[in-house]
Structure 1
Amino acid sequence: MSDEDRLRQAQAAMDRRDFVTAYEALVELQRSGLLDGEGLYALSDAAWWLGLIRETIEICEECHERFLAEGQVDRAAMVALETGMQWAMRGEPDVGSGWLSRARRLLDGRPSSVGHGYLLWIDAEGRFAAGDVDGALAGAVELQRLAVELDQPVLGCFGLALHGMVAIRAGETSRGFELLDEALLPVLAGRVGPAESGNLYCQMISICTDLGDLSRARRWTEATERWCDQFSSAVMFTGICRVHRAQLLRVQGDWDEAERAAAAACAELADLNVEAVAEAHYEIGESRRHRGDLAGAAAAYEQAAALGRLPEPGRSLLLLAEGRRDQADASVRSALAEQADPFRRARLLAAQVEIACRRADVATADAATAELEAIADTYGSPGFTAWAKTARAEVLLGSGAPADAVAPLREALAAYRRMGARPEEATTRTLLERAVAGAAAPPAAPGGLTAREWEILCAVAEGLSNREVAARLVISEKTVARHLANVYAKLGVPSRTAAAAWAHQEGLH
C-alpha cells in the first residue's frame, strides 16, 4: 500500500470514527516522516480517543511546533489550548496553565477565531467555579455572540450550556434545563465534533447528579452510553460514563455492580482524568460502606482524598456506622464549615440530620433540616425535596410527634420509588412504620395534642419564652414555634395567651 493510500485510509477512518484503524495508518505515515501539522493533529486525536494520553501529549507538542513552523499560528494556539486542558485533567494544573498562557500569548491581537472562543469558555468556566456568576454569565453571552460571528456552533453550545448552569445555580432550574437542552440540539444534529459532544453530554449528566435529579441523570447517562457505542474506542467518555453508572447503581442498591463499574473507570481513566478517578474511588467507598465493609470503605475514601476529592459525607457516615457518633458529628460539622456550594451542602445536611438524630441532638437536626428545606425550595430538585421530607420526619419523630411525621414520610417514599432509590425507599418505609405505630397510640394529652405539644404548651403556660422552652427541651426555637402553631390550630385558639388559658383550665401537669 502506498503512502497516499495509507493517508486516504486514515482520513476515511477518522471520518467514520474508527480510531483504531486511523491510528495504525497514521503511525506508519509518521514513521515515514510524511505527516504535516494536520496529519500530526489527526494522529494525536486518534491516540486520545484510544486513551493513549502520554503519547497524545507528546504528539501534540510536536504538532504545535510544526504548526508554528508552517506559519499556522491559530492552529498552533488551538493545539496549545488542548494540550493545556489535557495536562490539567491529568492533575498537573501548573503545566496546563503554562500551555494555556502560551495559547493566550499567541492569540493576543489576532482576529477572532475558534481559539479565542475556547479561551473565553475556559475563563468563563473558571469564573463560574470561583463563584463569579456575573462574570460567567457575561462570558456565556459573549460565547453565543462569537458563535454566530464565526459560524461555529460548538461555541454556541458551550455558551448555552454555561448559561444554563448559571440559571440553575440562581434557582431558575426549569429555565436552566431548557438552555441545556437547547445546547445539545446541535450535538443531536451532528453539527458538533465528537470530543465537544462528549463534553456537553458529561456536563448535562453532572448537573443532574449534582441536583439529585436521578431520573434525569439516568436518562442522560443512557443516552451518552448509546452515543459512546458509535465509536471503535472512546476511553475517556466510556470511563466517565462508568462513574455515572456506578453512582446510579449505588443509589439503586446494586452495590457489587456499582463497585465493579467504578473500579473499571479507575483503570480506564488512570492517566486521563484525575477528578473522575477520585470520584470513582469515592463511589467504591460508598458501595462498601452500604455493604458493611467498613475497612474497605475507609481505604477507598482515603484514595479519593489523596486525589483531591473531599470524601464527604461518606467518611462522616462511616464514623457513625462504626459507632463513633461524636467523631461523626465533628466530621460533618467541619465539612459543612468548609463548603459553600448549596448542592454539596444538601448532601452534607442530610447526613448531619441522620447523625444528629442518632445522638438525640434534635436542635442540630432541626437547624440542618431547615437549611435543607430552603435548598430544596430554591431548586425544586426531586432528590433534595425527598431528603428534606425525610429529614423533617426524623426531627418530628425525635420531637415526639410521630403523627406529624407520617405525611412527609409518605411523600418521600413516593419520591424514592419514582427515582428508583431502593435503599432510601426501604429506610423511609421503616421510618413510616414507626411513625404510624406511634401515631396510633392512645392520646397522651388533652385536646388531641401530642405529648410534645402538651409539654410545650405547659411550659408556655408557665410563662416561658420560646427561647426558654427550647433550652429546657433541647430543641430549636423554630421547632417550638412550629409545635405552637399546631397547638393553636388543634385547639382553635388565636393566640399564645388563649392557649395558655386553655392549658390552665385543663390543669397543668
Structure 2
Amino acid sequence: MTTNEARARGRAAFDGQAWADAYAQLSAADARSPLSPDDLELLAMAAYLFGRDDECTTALDRAHHELLRLGRTAAAVRCTFWLATLLLSSGDVARGGGWLARGERLLDECGRDRPESGYLLTVRARQALDGGEPAMSATMFAEAVAVGERHHDLGLTTLGRMGQGRALVELGKVIEGLALLDDAMVTVTAGEVDPVVTGMVYCAVQDACEVTFDVRRAREWTEALSRWCESQPDLVPFRGECEVHRVQVMRLQGTWPDALAEADRACRRLSGQPAAGAALYEQAELHRLRGEAGAAEDAYRLASAWGQEPQPGLGLLRLAQGQVAAAVAGLRRALDETPSVIARPALLAALVDALLAVGDLAAARSAATELADVTDGTGMPVLAAMTAYAAASVRLSDGDPAGALGAARGSWSVWHEFDAPYEAARARVLIGLACRDLGDVDAARMELDTAEQTFRRLDAVPDLARLRRLMHDPASAGWSGRLTARELEVLRLVAAGRTNRAIAAELYLSEKTVARHVSNIFAKLDVSSRAAATAYAYEHDLIQHPVAPPP
C-alpha cells in the first residue's frame, strides 16, 4: 500500500468513525512520509478517540509547530486549545496550563478577532468553574458563545453554551442552565460538531442531570449517549463515563444486580483514570444498599483515593452499622467542604437521617430547612421528593404524625411516578410509621408490608432488617422504633425528675404539649407512671446523654 493510499484510507476511516482503523492507517502513512498538519490533526483526534492519549498529544505538538513554520498561526492556536483541554482534563495541570499560555501569547501576535480566542476562553472559563467561581465562569462562557456566533463557529458556540449551562446550574439557576444544556444537546445529537466536542457535551449534560437529580433528562440522555458510544465500537474515552451514568439510572430503577455488573465494567474500563473514582463510588453504593459492608467500605476507600468524595454514601454506611457519631461527623465535614449550593442536597438529606438517629431533633430540623431552601425554585421533582422525605422524618420524630403523613405521601408519589422502587419503599415506611402513631394499625401494616416486599425483591438487606425489627420486634429496635426524638427528649427530662412545667420551659413547649408527649410515652412504653417510665429508660439504656438533676 502506498503512502497516498494509506492516507486516503485513514481519512475515510476517520469520516466513518472507525477510530482504530483511522489511527492505524494514518500512523502507517506518517511512518512512510510525514503527514501534513491537517492530517496530523486527524491522526491526533483518532488517537485520542482510540485511547492513545500520548500519541494524540505528540501529533498535536507536531501539527502545532508545523503550522507555525507555515505561517498558519491561528490554526496553530487551535492546536494549543486541544492540547490544553485534553491535558487539563487528564489532570496534567502544568503542561495544560503551559499550552494555554502559549496560545494566548500567539493570539496577541496574530490578533484576537478570531474564533480561536473564544476557544481559549472556554478553557479559562472551565478553570474558573473548577476553581469555585461559577459566576465568573458563566460570564466567560457567554463571551465565548458571542465569539462563536460572530464567526459562525458552531463547535465554539456549542462548547460555550454547554459551559454556561453547567455554570448556571452551579449557581442554582437550574432551569436556565438546563435549557442551555438542552440547546447544546440538540446540536450534538444532530451530528453537527466533531466527535470530541460531542463526547464532552454528553458528559457535561449527564453530570448536570446527576447533580440536579433530573431523572427524566438523565434517562433520556443516557440512552442517547449509549447509542452514540455503541455506534463507534473503537471509542475509548466517554464510554466509561457512559457506563457510570447507566449504573446510576439502573440503580434508581432497582435493577441492582445488572447495575453492579455494569459498575464493575466501568471500574475496569476507567482503571488508572481520574473518572475511576465515580465508578468506584457507584460500586460502593450498590454494595451498601445490598448490605455488603466490607465491599462497600473498600470501594469507598478506593474512590476517595481517586479524588471522589465518599460522602454521603460512607455516612449512610456508618449509620447502618450503628456508628452514628462517625456518620454525623463525616457528613458535616463534607458539607463544610461543599460551598456549591446545588451539590449539597444529597449530603443534607443523609445528615437529617443521621441527626435523627442520634436524637438531635433541632439540628435535623435545621438541615431539613436548608434542604428545602436549596430545592425551592429549582423545579426538580426528585429534589422536592427528597425534601418531603426529610420533612416527614423530622415531623414524625417531633410527634407530628399527621404532618409527617402528608409529606411522606408527597415523597412517595414522586418516587412512584419515576419508577424508583427503593426510594418509594423508604417513603412507604414513613407513611406506615405515621399511620401507626395516628392509631391506624391496619393502614400501617399494609404500608409496611408493601415496603417489606419491595426491600425483599431488591435484596436491600439493611432496610429489610430494620423494617422487620419495626414490624415484628419493636423492643429490639431501640427507642428509635418506638419513641420520636422529641419524646425521647421529654423522657430524659422526666427521668431527671423534671415536672411538666419545667420540661415545657426547657424545651420551649406548652405544658399541654408536654402532657401529650408524656401520655404518648406512657402508652408506647406500656407504663402507667413517671417512675415506671424512668425505670424503663434506664433499663433500656435510653439515657445516652444524662441530664443534670433539678436544683
TM-score, normalisation: structure 1: 0.84
Structure 2: gaps (5+ residues): 442-483, 491-497, 515-551
- 1:130 aligned to 2:131? yes
Say which SS state the counterpart of residue 344 (structure 2) adopts: helix
Hey, what does 1:223 align to over in structure 2?
224
Structure 1: gaps (5+ residues): 443-449, 476-509
Matches within 5 A, 1:292-307: 292-307=291-306
Shift of 1:248: 1.6
CA distance in 1, matches of 2:166, 2:46: 31
Q: 1:156 to 1:4 in 2, by over 3 A?
A: same
Shift of 1:169: 4.0
Q: 1:388 to 1:55 in 2, by over 3 A?
A: same
Hey, what does 1:329 align to over in structure 2?
328
Hey, what does 1:185 align to over in structure 2?
186
CA distance in 2, matches of 1:23, 1:452: 67
Shift of 1:405: 1.0
Q: 1:11 to 1:174 in 2, by over 3 A?
A: same
Say which SS state the counterpart of residue 258 (structure 1) adopts: helix
- 1:60 aligned to 2:60? yes
Hey, what does 2:243 align to over in structure 1?
242
CA distance in 2, matches of 1:297, 1:319: 11
CA distance in 2, matches of 1:262, 1:99: 35
Shift of 1:171: 4.2
Q: What's the Cα RMSD here?
A: 2.9
Residue deviations 1:456-508, cap 9 Å, x none?
Answer: xxx9x9699988516999x9xxxxxxxxxxxxxxxxxxxxxxxxxxxxxxxxx
Matches within 5 A, 1:64-463: 64-111=64-111, 112-270=113-271, 273-274=273-274, 276-440=275-439
Say which SS state the counterpart of residue 378 (structure 1) adopts: coil
CA distance in 1, matches of 2:328, 2:166: 32
CA distance in 2, matches of 1:299, 1:258: 18
CA distance in 2, matches of 1:232, 1:430: 45
Equivalent AA in structure 1 for residue 281 of structure 2: Y
Say which SS state the counterpart of residue 17 (structure 1) adopts: coil
- My pick for the range that moved more, 87-96 or 243-252, is 87-96
Equivalent AA in structure 2 for residue 221 of structure 1: T
CA contact (8 A) 1:320 1:355 kept: yes
- 1:469 aligned to 2:468? no
CA distance in 2, matches of 1:466, 1:63: 78
Shift of 1:243: 1.0
Residue deviations 1:393-449, cap 9 Å, x none?
Answer: 11111112222211111111111122232211111112211111211359xxxxxxx
CA distance in 2, matches of 1:471, 1:362: 18
Shift of 1:358: 1.6
Q: 1:27 to 1:131 in 2, by over 3 A?
A: closer
| Matched-pair identity in % | 31
4+ residue segments displaced more than 6 Å? 450-453, 463-467, 470-473
Q: 1:34 to 1:91 in 2, by over 3 A?
A: closer
Say which SS state the counterpart of residue 117 (structure 1) adopts: helix
- Aligned residue pairs total 461
Say which SS state the counterpart of residue 144 (structure 2) adopts: helix
CA contact (8 A) 2:4 2:29 kept: no
Q: 1:127 to 1:89 in 2, by over 3 A?
A: closer
- 1:24 aligned to 2:24? yes
CA distance in 1, matches of 2:54, 2:199: 21
CA distance in 2, matches of 1:364, 1:44: 54
Q: 1:268 to 1:77 in 2, by over 3 A?
A: farther
